[in-house]
Structure formats: structure tokens, C-alpha cells
Amino acid sequence: MIKIDKLDHYGRGITRINNKTAFIENALPGEIVEVKIHKEKKKFIEGIVLKYIQKSDKRISTNCPYYESCGGCNIMHLDYQNQLKFKQDKIQNIISKYLNKNIKINNIVGCDTNKNYRNKVTFQVKESIGFYKNSTYDIISIDECLISDELINNCIKYLKRLDLKSIDKIICRTGSNELMIIIETKSIDLDITPLKEIAHSIYLKTNNEYTHVFGNKNIYEILDNYKFKISPDSFFQININTCLKLYNKVKDYVGKGKNVIDLYCGTGSIGIFVNEGNKVIGIEINEFAIKDALENKKLNNLENIDFICGDSGKRLKELSFNPDVIIVDPPRSGLNKETINNILKFDPKEIVYVSCDPMTLTRDLNILSEYYNIKEVTPFDMFPNTHHVECLTHLLKKM
């Protein structure tokens, strides 16, 4: 029997076994458990709970029959208010440790619901449809996912009627009450008849090429007063509820009457959202995303925003544009050195940094903080029931 001391940044319980730090899945601080060690390295141990001798009063029933084995959610066993506290503490600890500055961290902005929030889900297929078992490539067949949009859950029974032999994976996306299904398959002749009853758009993806086979070519999402096109491979935030809260905060930071550069702009959603009263240029390397961004510009009848296709770091230095604000929303790897250097050459008065990884965020803030004051950091719960957390940081140029 061992007692769990605290949680790590991935939501695993931490204790000591054999004079080594041990990480235990699905274990909460204060719990007394019997564990099975499944990995032992020179400096650490990983294990799973065999039996709970004493449970935490913060533990709740997940109501998910796949939770013990699915690799998707990892803190669903923690009640939601304590999930938010875990993420707040995580950001506080990471920033304090790696930035070592007295930085203002606002209270985390929660999601209005921690169920049915995902508007994009990738199902793995191999004789059955489901998700990978935790840390393996074995597939757990599922009938419902508690964090997925109800339109996606409703279509699972129809997906199971397909001939699965030639299918590798199925991606389901939703917009405003619309469902798109993308099937990655070896056969372009796949019979999709069972899906026509529930899908608004269907694509087959073979050899990395998309073939539209049913319904509309695109679906659309409404965010505040703006309409956004969703195509098979375009990026869009998976949690519309929290996304709207984050975008409104970005809008507050940017204000009006400014020149704005939106780096890693994707399909242009942030730039479009903050365009009112501003001149905006968005830069994105994905040519399909830029096509969607230009379409979104037309959909919303906007004249004061332009989009450029290219590497954010390289294309940035080619602009003859004097930005007051630069918005960055990079991938999990954060900003590369070239991009940071070119941002600093433009010398904007403000930087608004949207991050999905607090470790790369703190790395980049360490560099930027030589030239900018970090006004505040606000965590957002974009991914309830998982250890992931989004952060929004506002930086002001030092005078």
C-alpha cells in the first residue's frame, strides 16, 4: 500500500516507490492504493492502481465504460471544480518555476460544460471503431464518447454499418448542427449509403487526397456574428464554448484603431474576430487553410483583413507593414527563433500569445520578457477532463 502525495502536470498521482519517484495513473492526492508497476527506469517508476484502499473525497464516478483503458481523457475522475484548480495550479507552478517572475495569472476560465464539447473526433478503425487503448495501438470499440458532440455520438451506430475492412480511420467534424465525415480508406468504391441518412458532407481520403462523395462540400460554424467555413483538413478550435471566451479576451487586448498581424492564422478565425476597427494581416503556411481564410473573408463581407500563405517567420520579415499588435497562435512546439527575431524587429507595442503548451510558452516568454513586460496570463479550459490547458498572454513593450 502507498499514499499518493500530489499530481504531476499530466494528472498522474505522484508517490515514492523503491526510493524513486513513481507516477500512478488515475490516483489522487491523499488516496491510499495498491499498485502494479508496469515500467521501472533508473530514475522513475510508472504504475497503475490495482485497488483503492482509501479514496479521495474529490473523486467522482466517470460514467464512462471505457475510461480505465481509453487514452483520451485522464482526469475525468476528478470533479470539475478541482479539475480547474489542478490546471490553475499547474500553470502557476510552471510559470513560477521556469520564468521565476512575479507574473499576474488570472483565474482559469472554465467551460460551461465538460461533456459533449468536442466538435472533431478521430476514430481508429481495425475490424471495429473506437480509440486507442492507453499507450498502445490496440483499439477499444466504443458506442459513445462523453466529451464528443452529440451529432458525432449519434453517427457511431451508422459508421458501424460500413464495410470496415478497407478503412483506416474516420474523422467526424461538426459545425452549427452540421456533420461532416471524412473516411480514410484504401478503396474509393466504399459504399457510404448508411451515412447518407445523418451526414451533411462526406469525403473519402485515399493516398492523402480528398474526394467529395456526398452532400455539401463544406460545413459552417457560427461564432458570435461571424460565419466560418470548415473544410476536411482545416483547423478550427474543438471547443466552441471556450473558444468564444478566449477570442473575446483577445479582442479586448487588441482594441480598435490598430494595425494587427495574426501569425499562424489558420483559417483566419482570430484575425476576423478582432478585425472591427483594425487593419489585419494573417499569415499561415497551410495553403488549404489560407483558401478557407479567404473564403471566410468573403463570407463575412470584410475589406480590412488580408491573408498571406507562407512560413510565419519568413513571410513576416517581407511585410511592409507597421503593426501595433502581433497575435501569435503557434503549434504545440511554440515559436521558432527566426519568428521571434522577426517579431522583435517589427517592434510592436503589444504581443498577444495564444498557447496550447505551457512549457513552450514559458520558454518563449523567457526570451520575449527581455523586451516586453508580461502584463498577465489567463488559462482557459479548452479541453475538460484532460490535463491540457490553453493560455492567453498579453505582453506590453518596455518603455
Q: At residue 102, what are phi and psi to the nearest 5 degrees?
A: -85, 75
d(C-alpha 248, C-alpha 275), whole Å: 12
d(C-alpha 340, C-alpha 330), whole Å: 11
Please state, in angstroms and as integers, the Cα–Cα distance from residue 253 to each residue in 101, 153, 246, following that order.
Answer: 22, 37, 11
**356 belongs to the catalytic site:** yes
Q: Which of 70, 145, 265, 356 is catalytic?
A: 356
Residue 312: alpha-carbon gap to chain centroid? 20
Residue 166: count other Cβ atoms within 10 Å of its Cβ. 16
DSSP 341-397: HHHHHH--SEEEEEES-HHHHHHHHHHHTTTEEEEEEEEE-SSTTSS--EEEEEEEE
d(C-alpha 199, C-alpha 156), whole Å: 11
Q: Is there a contact between 199 and 169 (Cβ–Cβ < 8 Å)?
A: no
The CA dihedral of 230, 235, 238, 240, to the nearest 10 degrees, is -60
Q: Is there a contact between 129 and 155 (Cβ–Cβ < 8 Å)?
A: no
Helix (H, G, I), strand (E, B) or coil at 223: strand
Side chain identity at 173, as an amino acid letter? R
> Which residue numbers are catalytic?
356
